[in-house]
Amino acid sequence: MDWPISEVARMSGVTARTLRHYDEIGLLPPARIGSNGHRYYEEHQLLLLQQILVLRELGVGLPEIGRVLADQVDTVEALRGHHRRLLAERDRLDALAGTVSRTIAELEPSRKDGTPMTAINRPENLFEGIQPSPYEGNLRDFPALAEEAGRRAAAMTPAEIDAQYRALTSLYAVSADEYRAVGRSCVENEDWRAAYEAIAPGLAEYQRDAIEVYAASRLG
């Protein structure tokens, strides 16, 4: 049995546009494309979509999800691993909820009697269960890293640039559509866009357009 993209979107809560994007970048191709041009998905694709959504909830980016799915052999074992991570995330959220609950309990008496709160018992407890985003440091350093990369690229000869290009493409073959999807992410992904805009206003759109030109001229 298979399901059209509209039904998969309804069941999963993922928009049809996102499902098409997953297909374009090679993350979740449909089981078949009908004579009407619509995508159809079978049980295997639904299981993969579940894993994609679980990993997204855990904060894993799409490129890494692609590598995870490509490397896995046993679906059940992979799901067990996701389950363990979800349980760990549940424990973290429980701790975070407890932190907020304790803060409310400390603030509530002052709110009721109208007196200002003068002290917090054990201030370090305010931050229990709160973990900074793993991408926060990377994004903060992105402008400086980009500037350094720009200086290095400016000093490279065309032959050196071409050699580096061949070395990178030998690691992972990227189709034109996959590369275009990366370009769109420069604008559509809020974190990426903010990182580019921190370097120069309009850089996100420039990067997307440059990738589009490159995909058309070099990747066909």
Clarify whether residues 60 and 80 are in a common domain.
no
Contacts of 212 (CB under 8 A, 6+ apart): 180, 183
In terms of Cβ atoms closer than 10 Å to its own Cβ (0-12, 13-18, 19+), residue 91 is: exposed
For residues 30 and 9, is the Cβ–Cβ distance under 8 A?
Answer: no
pLDDT at 124 over 70: no
Can you tell me the distance from the alpha carbon of 76 to that of 51, in angstroms, rounded to the nearest whole number? 11
Range of the domain at 80: 75-127
Can you tell me the distance from the alpha carbon of 4 to that of 16, in angstroms, rounded to the nearest whole number? 10
For residues 45 and 51, is the Cβ–Cβ distance under 8 A?
Answer: no
**What b/e string do you get for 7-29 counting C-beta neighbours within 10 Å, with b at 16 or more?**
ebbeebebeeeebebbbbbebbe
pLDDT at 131 over 70: no
Clarify whether residues 190 and 206 are in a common domain.
yes
Asked which of 127, 156, 191 is the last residue of a domain, the reply is 127
pLDDT mean over 134-163: 66
Q: What is the CATH number of the domain that holds 48?
A: 1.10.1660.10
Clarify whether residues 164 and 208 are in a common domain.
yes
Clarify whether residues 140 and 211 are in a common domain.
yes
Clarify whether residues 215 and 185 are in a common domain.
yes
Query: Where is pLDDT greater, at 117 or 122?
Result: 122
pLDDT at 117 over 60: no
Q: What is the pTM of this model?
A: 0.48
pLDDT at 18 over 60: yes
Can you tell me the distance from the alpha carbon of 109 to that of 115, in angstroms, rounded to the nearest whole number? 8
The pLDDT of residue 165 is 66
Clarify whether residues 145 and 214 are in a common domain.
yes
Q: What percent of the chain has pLDDT over 90?
A: 17
Clarify whether residues 210 and 140 are in a common domain.
yes
pLDDT mean over 118-129: 59
Clarify whether residues 101 and 141 are in a common domain.
no
Name the domain count of the chain: 3
